[in-house]
Chains A and B, each alone.
Chain A
Amino acid sequence: AQKVTQAQTEISVVEKEDVTLDCVYETRDTTYYLFWYKQPPSGELVFLIRRNSFDEQNEISGRYSWNFQKSTSSFNFTITASQVVDSAVYFCALISPNTGNQFYFGTGTSLTVIP
């Protein structure tokens, strides 16, 4: 069975602090893909990153970085020097070709950055 767990329901940080959003996944498949999406108050989910199961390199994009560790089945997301515009709900998701391309989403983490 596929499952994505985002244990942090809500996080508040003060602007310029670093914050890490946790994502733990479960799958029996050897090939799978992990995603992060950002949902600002406007509602649209915005794609941030896609990572396949064979690529464990960490990735950095500006203030965003992702730490993928198969040993702990985690795909954590860190925002460095947070800004008010980072306030949003963030979703982690998993997809596996063996399950017909159905996406499995976590329940989301609501991040509030306080100015």
Chain B
Amino acid sequence: DVKVTQSSRYLVKRTGEKVFLECVQDMDHENMFWYRQDPGLGLRLIYFSYDVKMKEKGDIPEGYSVSREKKERFSLILESASTNQTSMYLCASSPGQAGGNTIYFGEGSWLTVV
């Protein structure tokens, strides 16, 4: 089975703190994604990566950055957390460069910024 593991399930951070959300997948997938989920807005793509050291902006990249130094690991960074970044963050991965492959999700990280 594909396993996507997010390091923290629940986090509480203060405004202005730097926050790291870590994600690891164990299926040698090329593609990795970070989404944000908010009530009524569904899933919104923050960043994605097709390869090591490669990143592409999604729909809402402002206030976020990412790092992919190894194929299996994709980190989401909030440089200076703000209260409007309180949300659930979902990491996902999918195989290959060809289209239409199924995307697999982690359990999510609930971030509260106070």
Interface residues of A (CB under 8 A from B): 9, 31-33, 35, 37, 42-47, 50, 52, 91, 93, 95-98, 100-103, 105-108
Contacts and interface: CB of A to CB of B under 8 A. Distances in A.
Contacts of A105: 42-43
B75 interface: no
A44 B104 CA distance: 9
Interface of B: 31, 33, 40-43, 45, 48, 50, 56, 58, 88, 90, 92, 94, 97-108, 110
A115 B15 CA distance: 42
Contact of A96 (B45, B99, B105, B106): B99
Contacts of A9: 40
A4 to B, nearest CB: 9
A105 B105 CA distance: 13
A45 B42 CA distance: 12
Contact of A102 (B48, B88, B106, B108): B48
Given A91-B43, A96-B99, A107-B41, A101 B31 contact: yes
Contact of B42 (A33, A97, A101, A106): A106
A93 B94 CA distance: 14
A101 B58 CA distance: 12
Contacts of A93: 103
B107 A47 contact: no
Contacts of B104: 47
Nearest to A6: B42
A33 B98 CA distance: 12
Contact of A103 (B41, B56, B103, B110): B103
B43 A102 contact: no
